Chains A and B, each alone.
Chain A
């Protein structure tokens, strides 16, 4: 198993550009989520999904969209990038559809800079 994979590893955008961060897992996990990690603020939940076709907002959803058309993939879209979205983005997954009952597996992260 490759586990949780994320692409790209690094990305630089200009303000106003849009892009999609990719996340995929090959463990047949139901629950998938996106976090951003900023210095001094820990990880904050952006969006999550409890199964294909089902998504919901986390703590900081503004400026981001998600969809879950398959069990394996959970892309995160930045609609119009802003410097405040400069961060490291992590995707995570777990077998159970309930985040709190199961071990979370994290991807290696995408480091995004918005100029």
Chain B
């Protein structure tokens, strides 16, 4: 059974720092991996989608990498800002199903 883990559960950093969020999964048979952002009391917003054949995707200050063989993905946020404060979740598309399995998220706080 696919399990997705995100460490750390919470992170607090000063503005301007570069930071890395981690996502690990137990079964490398995935179609893709997605990173989402969730603001308090709101729904999820998709940030980046990496297909299983890709190694990374970039959008602005965000860069996500995927290493299927080791079951890991990282989300790199450059020059963090207070507006980046949110919970970040990763989800994997499970092979041979129509399902996404989510991690429990990393709650990020960026203070001025």
Contact = CB atoms under 8 A, between A and B. Distances in A.
State whether these chains interact: yes
Interface of A: 4, 31, 33, 35, 40-45, 48, 50, 56, 58-59, 90, 92, 97-109
Interface size class of chain B, counting residues whose CB lies under 8 Å from the partner chain: 20 to 34
Interface stretch (B61-69, B76-84, B98-106): B98-106
Contacts of B104: 40-42
Contact of B102 (A42, A50, A101): A42
A59 B1 CA distance: 11
Contacts, number: 71
B49 to A, nearest CB: 6
A98 B4 CA distance: 20
Given A33-B100, A92-B44, A99-B100, 12 more contacts: A4-B43, A35-B102, A40-B104, A41-B104, A99-B93, A100-B99, A102-B49, A103-B34, A103-B46, A106-B43, A106-B45, A109-B43
Interface of B: 4, 30-32, 34, 36, 41-46, 49, 51, 89, 91-94, 97-105
Contact of B44 (A90, A98, A102): A90
B98 A56 contact: yes
A106 B46 CA distance: 9
Given A42-B103, A42-B104, A43-B89, A100 B44 contact: no
Contacts of B45: 106
